[in-house]
Structure 1
Amino acid sequence: MIDFLAVFIVFFAVIDPIGTVPVFIAATRGYDEKAKRKIAVMSGLVAAVILLFFVIAGELILTAMSIPLSAFQIAGGIVLFIFALSMIFGESKPEEELRLAEQYHETAIFPLAVPSIAGPGAMLAAVLMTENAKVELWQQVQVAGVMVLVVMLALLLMLVASKIHRLIGNAGAIVISKVMGLILAAVAMTNTLNGLTSYFKL
């Protein structure tokens, strides 16, 4: 059995469903409620498919390219750490992606499905948390289930986005994003240290 709470927290941090709310609101400005629901459902399904692809094929692709998973874990941890720092010190996810939402019209795919939900951090986490050598198949299925659950949570929040936005506002979403960034930084450092330990067999 996996630690469901720990896995949930990791995916909640990298996917950041609450941070998706103001992005969704900005991206769907001008659409009626029916169109907004269709965009929310489509973006959630596309994001889930993308992340499941990385769970299934991510490690296979690395193996085919002769990249040891420990090296990917080190690199992924560094990238996740930089991503976390950008959440803490730079523009938050809502601030950054609101600009993207204003520049593109393919709202269900971009910026909602990618990178708002299935961003680089979520893709890396999907691969690192389903390592074949350390995680049994049933545990990988459990991890994938938790990951999809967080994606569906993002979908649910998008469906009730207007009410949530009135409740927490942009400021609330930004605060939550920065707290998630701090948690993600700790997770990233753990991944990097584990990768270094595995690579050098310390």
Structure 2
Amino acid sequence: MNDWISSFVFFFAVIDPVGTLPVFIAVTARHADWQKRNIAWLAVLVAAGILLFFLVAGQFFLEAIGVPLSAFQVAGGVVLFLFALTMIFGDGKPEQEIEIIREGHETAIFPLAVPSIASPGAMLAAVVLTDNHRFDTIHQVKTASAMLAVLAIVIVLLLTANWIYRFIGNAGASIVSRVMGLILASVATTNVLLGIQQFFAI
């Protein structure tokens, strides 16, 4: 149970459901309610497909090109740490992705599915948390269920986005994003240390 909770918190940090709210609202500002629902479902389903692909096939791809998972774990940890720093010190996730929208890309696929929901950090997490050398099939299924649970939260938040956003606003979403960034920085540091340990233990 503790492993499931850990995976859930990890995915919650890298996907950042609350930070996706202002992005979704900006993307769908000119759409009717039924169109907003369709966009929300499409974005989450596409993101789920991408993350499940990385969860199932990510490690096989790395091994096919001769990259040990320990090296990927260190690299992923560094990238996650840098990503976390941008969440903490830079523009929050909402501000970054609303800026993307202003450049004219207003679809469910971009920037909603990628990179807002299926973020680079989430893709890395899907690979690292399902290492075939460390985790058995049952553990990997639990990890997948934790990821899908976070995506379920995302769809609920998106379908109730206008109601929720009236209460938290941009500032509230930004605060949550920065707290998630701090959690993510801690997890990223742990991944780097574990990757180094595993690499030299081989």
CA distance in 1, matches of 2:104, 2:156: 23
In the TM superposition, what is the alpha-carbon distance from 1:47 to its structure 2 partner? 0.3
What percentage of residue pairs aligned between the two structures are identical? 56
1:124-170 per-residue CA deviation (whole Å, 9 max, x = no partner) reads 00000000010101110110111011012111101000011001110
Report the aligned-residue RMSD. 1.1
- Counterpart position of 1:46: 46
- Counterpart position of 1:189: 189
1:30-57 per-residue CA deviation (whole Å, 9 max, x = no partner) reads 0000000000000000000000000010
CA contact (8 A) 1:93 1:174 kept: yes
CA distance in 2, matches of 1:126, 1:25: 27
Question: In structure 2, what residue type is equivalent to 1:64?
Answer: A
In the TM superposition, what is the alpha-carbon distance from 1:106 to its structure 2 partner? 4.4
- Counterpart position of 2:136: 136
CA distance in 1, matches of 2:117, 2:85: 18
Question: In structure 1, what residue type is equivalent to 2:21?
Answer: V
Question: In structure 2, what residue type is equivalent to 1:42?
Answer: L
CA contact (8 A) 2:43 2:113 kept: yes
CA contact (8 A) 1:24 1:112 kept: yes
CA contact (8 A) 1:51 1:122 kept: yes
Q: How does 1:40-119 map to 2 (within 5 A)?
A: 40-119=40-119
In the TM superposition, what is the alpha-carbon distance from 1:102 to its structure 2 partner? 2.5
* TM-score, structure 2 as length reference: 0.97
Report the 3-state secondary structure (helix = DSSP H, G, I; strand = E; otherwise coil) of the residue aligned with 2:29: coil
CA distance in 2, matches of 1:3, 1:67: 26
Report the 3-state secondary structure (helix = DSSP H, G, I; strand = E; otherwise coil) of the residue aligned with 1:109: coil
- Counterpart position of 1:174: 174
